[in-house]
Structure 1
Amino acid sequence: MKKVKAILFSLITLFVLGYIFFEAPNLNPLYAEGAMFYCAVVTIYVLVWALLKFGTFTLQSPENSGRAFNYVQERHFPKWVKVLLAAPWVFFVAMLIGSSVLFHWTTFRDQLGQAQITEFSSDVQPVDVSQLPIVDRKLALKLADKKLGERQSLGSQVVLGEPTIQRVDGKLIWAVPLHHSGIFKWLTNLQGTPGYIVVSATNVKDVEYVDGKYVKYQTDSYLLNDVKRKIRMSGYLFEGLADYSFELDDSGQPYWVVSTYRNQRGFSLPEATGVILLNATTGEISRYHIGNVPEWVDRVQPEDFIINQINNQGQYVHGIFNFSDKDKFRSSEGHMIVYNNDRCYLFTGLTSVGQDDSTIGYVMVDMVDKSVRRYVMNGATENAAMSSAQGKVQNLRYTATFPLIINVGSEPTYFMTLKDDEGLIKQYAMVSVTDYSIVGTGETVPDAMRDYQQAMKNVGMRPNLSETDQALSITGTVLRIASEFNGTSTEYKLILAEAKDMIYLVDASLSDELALTQPGDRVKIEYYQNPGSSTQAASGFDNLEFSQAA
């Protein structure tokens, strides 16, 4: 019997150790996952011990039972055994109840922190307009998959991982890791997948495969090449981990950035405390607290943490018994990661509870230090704006992406892309937040801007255009000119002798004179200023040679 007990407990112990290795759970009992683990383990060990202690196993089956192995319990478990079995679960349930909003509603409400509240005005530009993210996650994956297909030797060995939007060397990009397509591909390429794909978030043509930067450690990989398992087995079995994101440092070296967190109340209210960086090539691990993370790390706060904190603030604004829903609000049904002044923010609208088609403003939360900016204004929700934009091109059956807010002539404006059934960008749209019947669309951003400004003027609005919104003009001599088809229309690129460091992008629809323009011609170009960029999108074109000839 002693040998049976030893074998049985050895098997249970091997199972538990195997579970710890392969599932890499959080073993800290102050987290729900860790507490559940200990409850299950204690229950299994105590129950098996009690069955062996207070029951009898026989190798001979009772007559006519038809079984080769039988267990007979001679008497009930003593009370202290039942208490020992129940104690872990009582602790778990007590922690759940004690962590609930019923006892901590003020902490639930205040976890996000005090927001800097500002009225939307002419000097508010929440998003860097020179870095408008026109490429969303789905399109980034499609473009990355197309780039991967160009390398036939790789397509059968790897699959695309989850893309992460970030800013690297001044460019807004999606970084897409490459994962092994199966265990046999992993066994034959233990050094990792040979690179990753970078997709520009602002230019659908800018897609690059980066070779030579091996990604050895991957999510959902095998043995210690799995990111979660590697970190846990490197001394972080008792740490709260969340949000495994693939990011690049300033040199292009890939890392896995994993947020660490602790709960503020029992099993509830997770709060980010810092990050763990795992070098995706070498496996080197570094930990940083929230106040000293490297500058290239864009995100410390997990997105779902922030959304939950926004919703908690709105839900419990006047306590847990606010049955009239006074002043309650919630986040929009979607959100985006945007950049302004080289800082990464989570952007989402705010909607009053019970008013599905109106917004009361929007909020931007810094994804590192969690500082909050809240802009107050009334208008249409993102979904209403998306429907309005789709309605203007309903004959084309385009689908709008989740919008973000920009400032156009002191008017808060939703900006979004319109995509076809294949998920490719066909047009751009701008919709007024305060009056979502005012819509502008176009095949280029300047075209959409012109159409939108005209729509505002048609209803008697006079946009107060800032310097960056106004169409500037330049007159000069054409030094070079070339045309290129961008997938939807022909685009001309001009360099003027008077501004050799600037390229002007002119859509063919702006003027029939473009096709006849040659180097040496005097031209006038109108454009919307794109600060800090070497390219400017034209909004008007005139070949002065033809005007003079006339």
Structure 2
Amino acid sequence: MLGIALIVAWVIMLFYPLTFAEKLHDLAKVDKKNKLEEVQDIKTMPLVTVKMADAKGDAAINKIANASYFTEGEYRLTNINGELTYTSPIEMDGFFKAGKAEYTPGYNLISAISTDKGASTVKGKMLYAPSQYLDYDLERTIRKKYPKKIINDSYLEPNEDGKPFFVASVGHYLKYRSGSVVDGVVLVNPETGDTKYYPLGKEPKWVDRTFTLETALEYWTYWGKYVHGWKNQSLIGAKKDVLIPNEDNMQVTFNEKGELIYVVDFTRAKSKGNSKTLVGYGVFNAKTGEMTYYKGVTSVLTGKEAKSNANASEFLSKYPGWKATNGIFYTIYGAPTYVIPVTKGSKFQGIAIVYANSDNPQVVFGKTKDEAFRNYKKLIASLGKVSGVTPQKGFELKEIKGKVTRINDANLSNGYVFYLIVEGNAKRFSVDPGVSALSDIVLTNVGDRVVLKVMDMDEEVVPVDQFTNLDLPKK
């Protein structure tokens, strides 16, 4: 009897949501747009993967006193002083170690933009944490104060002064245990355990995320699946107009306002196999819950196919162990594009940029961001109207002459990059290891006359394609 009762309960839980599928669909308030837009900020695109962040965080913990007591918490992306940054609470490494340590010594910050920066540990007394036990357990602390709220997720985020708080997204279910409705956030002081609830839209400005990645995926799934109600999803349903979000390639990045967004690509429903091209892509604002679906997408690869193309390219195939990670979809220079960090294990090797037209996919590679984008500009300029890309103003190679007023170098993991300012030009220019005549830039001093050839696409720092120093002896 008990077995039968459990089976009946399972069947009810499985099929009950279909009875209010329309209400689940309506949880997502989606603004549809027909034209692709550059909704992500390419200046702050994340290049550091979670695996890379984990390696950096582990190295930082090794420097802490009694390091064996602790481990890294979950890595979450937040906006810290305008830079996309991973935050990770330092957590207890087990019950017995928690008893000896009493509290954790702070949290780690890791840049998601710079592949060369290590983790920095912000020290502080954190008594309440996800890895703590009994009355110091974070989730238990929240439930004691707000027993009727469901906890969607929690993460660590510092305020403007660097003081850490755990931010928990809380809410209720639409019906029974289906349909997560976000009511607001609970902030927990990890030193004192003090909590405060903020209704949706009333949270502090520095809080980046009130809707979790899982909630965003849930909403997109309801919206795409139940577009014509539950009958369309039944065993005999036609599944008309059904759209499938690609949960394996849902990415976190910034928009140009500095707000955290989740970006996901959509494919059509197929009875066999997976679609290799997009029908659209969605952008979900992590703070406000605003959802925008861009349906003006044709002949564009999915993230999975773009990754596959990158791994099969001549640039990666000749280096054993080099692998493309999951990329983020952008519209760059008017072209559908995936930007994909390339790693070997947990070490950054460079960036693959995939021109994602399914009729003629192309891949370029650079050991630095500047080099990769310089190569991508050349690719887009060479494609012309052949692949439906019309070169915009700035794709032509432009010559700049003048005296060097400032010059400096940065020692990056893949070699030196030189930055210079030329008299009479407000732009900053960069010369990376991929440029020929690199020895000339090494010997360049302030006051030297130089000739630069660039494709200036309005970036703040313009990569140099060709560099000549007129004051050096001729070779």
- Interval containing the TM-score (normalised by the shorter chain): 0.7 to 0.9
- Unaligned 5+ segments in structure 2 are none
Query: Which residue is 1:14 aligned to?
Result: none
Query: Which residue is 1:143 aligned to?
Result: 56
C-alpha distance in 1 between matches for 2:456 and 2:208: 27
- 302-311 vs 202-211, greater mean Cα deviation: 202-211
Correspondent of 2:77 among 156, 165, 170: 165
What's the CA shift for 1:548? 8.7
Matched, 1:219 2:122: no
Matched, 1:390 2:316: no
Query: Which residue is 1:428 aligned to?
Result: 351
Aligned-partner residue type, residue 242 of structure 2: K
Aligned-partner residue type, residue 187 of structure 1: G
The C-alpha deviation readout for 1:412-471, integer Å capped at 9, x for no partner, is 211111111x22221212212323622222112232223333334444357455678887
Residue 527 to residue 248, structure 1, CA distance change in 2 (3 Å): farther
Correspondent of 1:256 among 160, 166, 170: 166
Residue 214 to residue 284, structure 1, CA distance change in 2 (3 Å): same
What's the CA shift for 1:145? 1.7
C-alpha distance in 1 between matches for 2:175 and 2:396: 52
Secondary structure, in 3 states, of the residue corresponding to 1:359? Answer: coil
Matched, 1:521 2:448: yes
Contact residue 105 and residue 319 of structure 1 kept, 8 A: yes
The C-alpha deviation readout for 1:29-63, integer Å capped at 9, x for no partner, is xxxxxxxxxxxxxxxxxxxxxxxxxxxxxxxxxxx
Aligned residue runs from structure 1 range 102-501, under 5 A: 102-120=18-36, 124-149=37-62, 151=63, 153-190=65-102, 192-233=103-144, 235-322=145-232, 323-332=237-246, 333-340=248-255, 341-354=257-270, 355-376=274-295, 377-378=297-298, 379-392=300-313, 393-397=316-320, 398-420=322-344, 422-435=345-358, 437-459=361-383, 460-461=386-387, 463-464=389-390, 475-479=401-405, 481-494=407-420
C-alpha distance in 2 between matches for 1:372 and 1:409: 24
Residue 356 to residue 283, structure 1, CA distance change in 2 (3 Å): same
Secondary structure, in 3 states, of the residue corresponding to 2:113? Answer: coil
What's the CA shift for 1:278? 0.3
What's the CA shift for 1:485? 4.1
C-alpha distance in 1 between matches for 2:453 and 2:104: 47
Secondary structure, in 3 states, of the residue corresponding to 2:278? Answer: strand
Aligned-partner residue type, residue 391 of structure 1: A
Contact residue 446 and residue 528 of structure 1 kept, 8 A: no
Aligned-partner residue type, residue 232 of structure 1: R
Secondary structure, in 3 states, of the residue corresponding to 2:470? Answer: helix
Secondary structure, in 3 states, of the residue corresponding to 2:310? Answer: helix
Greater percentage in helix: 1
C-alpha distance in 2 between matches for 1:310 and 1:362: 10
Secondary structure, in 3 states, of the residue corresponding to 2:99? Answer: helix
Secondary structure, in 3 states, of the residue corresponding to 1:402? Answer: coil
Residue 278 to residue 475, structure 1, CA distance change in 2 (3 Å): farther
Count of aligned pairs between the two proteins: 454
What's the CA shift for 1:262? 0.9
Aligned-partner residue type, residue 406 of structure 1: Y
C-alpha distance in 2 between matches for 1:286 and 1:531: 44
C-alpha distance in 1 between matches for 2:417 and 2:10: 66
C-alpha distance in 2 between matches for 1:321 and 1:388: 38
Secondary structure, in 3 states, of the residue corresponding to 2:142? Answer: helix
Correspondent of 2:434 among 509, 515, 519: 509
C-alpha distance in 2 between matches for 1:290 and 1:444: 40
Aligned-partner residue type, residue 125 of structure 1: E
What's the CA shift for 1:344? 1.6
Secondary structure, in 3 states, of the residue corresponding to 2:223? Answer: helix
Query: Which residue is 1:70 aligned to?
Result: none
- 102-111 vs 374-383, greater mean Cα deviation: 102-111
Secondary structure, in 3 states, of the residue corresponding to 2:58? Answer: helix
What's the CA shift for 1:402? 1.4
Residue 224 to residue 394, structure 1, CA distance change in 2 (3 Å): same
Aligned residue runs from structure 1 range 6-45, under 5 A: none
Contact residue 381 and residue 391 of structure 2 kept, 8 A: no
Alignment identity in percent? 22
Query: Which residue is 1:38 aligned to?
Result: none
- 539-548 vs 309-318, greater mean Cα deviation: 539-548
The C-alpha deviation readout for 1:107-128, integer Å capped at 9, x for no partner, is 12222123232321xxx21101
Contact residue 69 and residue 101 of structure 2 kept, 8 A: no
Secondary structure, in 3 states, of the residue corresponding to 2:283? Answer: strand
What's the CA shift for 1:479? 4.7
What's the CA shift for 1:326? 2.1
What's the CA shift for 1:93? 4.4
What's the CA shift for 1:98? 10
C-alpha distance in 2 between matches for 1:94 and 1:432: 46
Aligned-partner residue type, residue 540 of structure 1: D
Please report the TM-score for the alignment, with normalisation by the length of structure 1.
0.75
C-alpha distance in 1 between matches for 2:121 and 2:14: 50
Secondary structure, in 3 states, of the residue corresponding to 1:214? Answer: strand
Matched, 1:540 2:465: yes
Contact residue 527 and residue 537 of structure 1 kept, 8 A: yes
Contact residue 456 and residue 462 of structure 1 kept, 8 A: no
Please report the TM-score for the alignment, with normalisation by the length of structure 2.
0.86
Q: How much is the aligned-residue C-alpha RMSD, in angstroms?
A: 3.1
C-alpha distance in 2 between matches for 1:543 and 1:520: 14
Structure exhibiting the larger radius of gyration computed from Cα positions: 1
What's the CA shift for 1:371? 1.2
